[in-house]
Every structure is written in C-alpha cells, then in structure tokens.
Amino acid sequence: MKYDIAVIGAGTAGIYAAYELIKQKPSLKIVVLESGHDIYGRGCPIVAGKVKQCAGCKPCAIMSGFGGAGAFSDGKYNFTTEFGGWLGEYIDKVKLMELIDYVDSVNVSFGATTEVFSTDTPEAKALEVKALGYDLHLLQAKCKHLGTERNRQILANIYEYLREKVEFRFLCHVETIDVADGGYKLTLKNGSDVDCTYCVAAPGRSGCAWFTNVAKHLGLSCVNNQVDLGVRVELPAKVFEPITDVVYESKLIYRSKLYGDAVRTFCMNPHGQVVAENVDGLITVNGHSYADPKLQSENTNFALLVSNRFTEPFNSPNDYGHHIASLSNMLGGGVLVQRFGDLVRGVRTNEHRLQHSTTHPTLAATPGDLSLVLPKRHMDNIIDMIYALDKLAPGTANYDTLLYGVEVKFYSARVELSPELETKLPGLYAIGDGAGITRGLAQAGASGICAARAILAKL
C-alpha cells in the first residue's frame, strides 16, 4: 500500500503533524515510523530505580519512543517566539504564536492544566530589574508546567486517540529516503520499503545525525547549527525559591566578563531530579520535575549552557559536542558530579567528599573533576555565571552546590526550508528539534502543525 503521508519520528513534532492531518482529513492513509517503543513500552531502569548507572538500553527509552525526548521531561511549554527554537526565521511571529497557542489548546483537550506562569506580573518585573543590576537578563515569556507524570499521561491520551486512526510502526528504523515516482520511498532497516506521496521528517534530538546524513544523501545543502555545552546545577530548592516562586521557568542570560560569551540557564526544575540520558551511545545529563508534591525532591536543578558555533576551517559542532561528552564517559563511565567548591579549589570530588555534601544528589553519578572534561573557556564562563547568580539568589555559589556534566544539546544541520517548512524537494518536510529548527516542546509542536497544514492545503 502506498501511504498519503509518512511521518518519520513520533516525538512532539511528529505527533502534532499526524494529529492535525488526521483530524482535518480522516480519510488520509498515514503511517508514523518510530525507532523506539510506544508510550507504554518506554521505561528507563535508572528512572525506575533498578540501576544507578545507565544500562545502555537500545533504543534508549529516555530519548526514543512515542513522545520523543520530551516524554520524560517535565513538560514545560514556553509561549514565546524569542526562544525555544528558530521558527521565527521561517514563520511570521504572529502566526507562530497562533500555532503555539493552538498546540496548547490541543494539550488542554487531552488533560493539560490551564495554569500559566508569566513574567508579566509585578513580582516578575521587580525580579527582572533586580537581575539587571547584576547583568543578568530575564527573558520574557509565559510558561506552562505539566509535570513529568502528567506529561506522560497526556501523551498516553493522545496516543489512544491516534492509534485508531493512524498506523504506527514502533522499533522501526528508517535507513534512507529516496525520491520515487509521485513521492518518496523509505528504506527500513529490516529491508522493507514504505512508499508515500508526502514525507515529514521529524527525527527528534536522537535523530539529528541521521537527518544530516539523509539530507546529504538527497543532495540538500546544509548549514551546521550550534551545539550547546555545559553542566547541570543542583542546589537546595530554598536557594532558588526567590526566582522559581515568581517565574517557574526563568530564562536568564549572562555575558561572561572574561570572554564575552553568552551563558544561559535552561530547563529549570524546582524540586526536581537530575537524570541521565543516552544520546547515540553517549551518556549525558538532563533534569525533570513532577507536579505531584509527593514525588518532588528537596532540590532544584537547571542547566548552564554555553553555545558554540564554529567557522572555517572546522564546521562540525556536533562532533565537537560528542568528543566532550565522550571524555566524561571515559573518566566516569557516564555522568560526572563535582561540588562547586572543589571545582574552584582545583580538587577532585570523591566518594568521601560527596558524602559530606549538604546538597544530597538526586542522581547516582560518578564523583570526579569536570575541569578534565570541559574546556577551560567553558569552565570559566560557567563559574563566572554561578557567581553572578549568587548575587540574585544567595547560596548559588555555596561550596556544596553540585555540578553534573556534561549536558549537551545537539542540533541537526539545517536544510533550506520554505515558510511551510518544505525542503527544496517538493513534498518533503523537515520539522522539530531533530531538523535543527526548534529546541523546545512548544515550537516543536507548532512546526508539526505548520507542515501538516501545508500538506492539507496541497491536498
């Protein structure tokens, strides 16, 4: 059977593309090809408490499966065009906000909360002014926090809605995409083929390297994206309550005094947990938080990231990120953790020192020395920002503040796209984080809606 549309990837972008297509035109023959498990088959032994170190499951349940890398996140949706991706470079910003609001309305219809945190309050405005006094810039946005457990349930609700209307193939890896008469032929790892008229590539973060190779195979010129490198900070939740009680997901940007590099906070998780994730065989760090107070920790965690964008002669930012992450894996067998005071003193954190930490780690990482992993420039930038944050939230630079490394955000090389997110090959669309055009749930979902509506208009 030839399908009308094949969607590669069942992450946020792919899910919303399939949802909009089948909702608006129920007669369409749609297949979604996903390398991971369905939402019920996804289970990480670390999250379940069965093991302390990453077991190297293939496929990684954290990164792959229905819901993509966002399934195990704490479900933060940011209502803004200023961060969370680069869709504003393709789509009019007014239209983009309409798409983001539409994604939210779909989420609400499947059980999402209506509670919204905003920077447009007197308390948030006061925080913004105070932060500016320390050269910290608070980005403006509304944010909705679904919670890790609610996020999974909402995804399960969406899956139940779609599974009766759309064909899903799980544990299904697409090797290549080729142009065929009247559409595209997808060659699967098991040797079979899938024929379709329209193809939507939504490979997710775990598929960014795959998408880059496919683009080259199809003769699509690519522009390398940035790679974000840094650490995940964990400290007592009380330290950051003056910020998180006012703005749940605070996006703070700081320009380091030594190098002038931009350092930013990312993925703020009040009362959350630090988690490990497997990206193409590399163990990196991330974080999430639950909405249920019974499941919350006494700590808050967030990432501090420095963006790297290279020019000639080197132009492989993802390779650079992989190399840095591999050093952490080499030294610690996975994620490393170090006390901030030890890092500043030039002392390696060991089991004995970690046991005396007043901040109790939520992830069983290997104590070590992050200065042997991250380049000095990155380390100096991160230390500089921690001292700046300490002025806004005293206690951030405490000796026992924990730093986990490394945290890496990979982005696929970007192909040239139309405002409808169509490549130069008619009928082939690229959406989501794995295509290098978004880096968050809200814009990923919006990209899926955009591509779906473009296909519907052609039909």
pLDDT (tens digit, 9 = 90+) per residue, 358-370?
999 999 999 999 9
- Min mean pLDDT across 33-37, 347-351, 413-417 is at 413-417
pLDDT at residue 125 tops 80: yes
pLDDT at residue 263 tops 80: yes
| Strands, sheet with 76-79, edge to edge from the N-terminal-most edge strand | 76-79, 142-145, 117-118
pLDDT of residue 228: 87
Pick from 225, 230, 399: nearest CA to 315: 225
Q: Percent of the chain, pLDDT > 70?
A: 98
Assigned token pair, 450:
């955009």
Q: What is the mean pLDDT of residues 9-22?
A: 97
Pick from 311, 136, 285, 325: nearest CA to 226: 311
> pLDDT digits over 139-166, tens only?
888 888 888 889 999 999 999 999 999 9
Average pLDDT, the chain: 92
pLDDT band at 104 (very low <50, low <70, confident <90, very high): very high
pLDDT of residue 53: 66
Identify the top-confidence range among 35-44, 277-286, 316-325, 342-351. 342-351
pLDDT of residue 291: 78
> pLDDT digits over 446-459, tens only?
999 999 999 999 99
The pTM score is: 0.85
Identify the top-confidence range among 71-85, 218-232, 323-337. 323-337
Pairing verdict, β 428-430 and 193-201: parallel
Question: 3-state SS string over the chain?
Answer: CEEEEEEECCCHHHHHHHHHHHHHCCCCCEEEECCCCCCCCCCCCCCCCCCCCCCCCCCCCCCCCCCHHHCCCCCEEEECCCCCECHHHCCCHHHHHHHHHHHHHHHHHCCCCCCCEECCCHHHHHHHHHHHCCCEEECCCEEEECCHHHHHHHHHHHHHHHHCCCEEECCCCEEEEEEECCEEEEEECCCCEEEEEEEEECCCHHHHHHHHHHHHHCCCCEECCCEEEEEEEEEEHHHHHHHHCCCCCCCEEEECCCCCCEEEEEEEECCCEEEEEEECCEEEEEEECCCCHHHCCCEEEEEEEEEECCCCCCCCHHHHHHHHHHHHHHHHCCCEEEEHHHHHHCCCCCHHHHHCCCCCCCCCCEECCHHHCCCHHHHHHHHHHHHHHHHHCCCCCCCCCEEEEEEEECCCCEECCCCCCECCCCCEEECCHHHCCECCHHHHHHHHHHHHHHHHHHC
Per the model's pLDDT, the better-predicted residue between 93 and 318 turns out to be: 93
Contacts 24+ apart (CB under 8 A), 45-50: 46/275, 46/276, 46/363, 47/72, 47/275
Q: How many residues belong to the chain?
A: 459
pLDDT band at 52 (very low <50, low <70, confident <90, very high): low
Per the model's pLDDT, the better-predicted residue between 155 and 412 turns out to be: 155
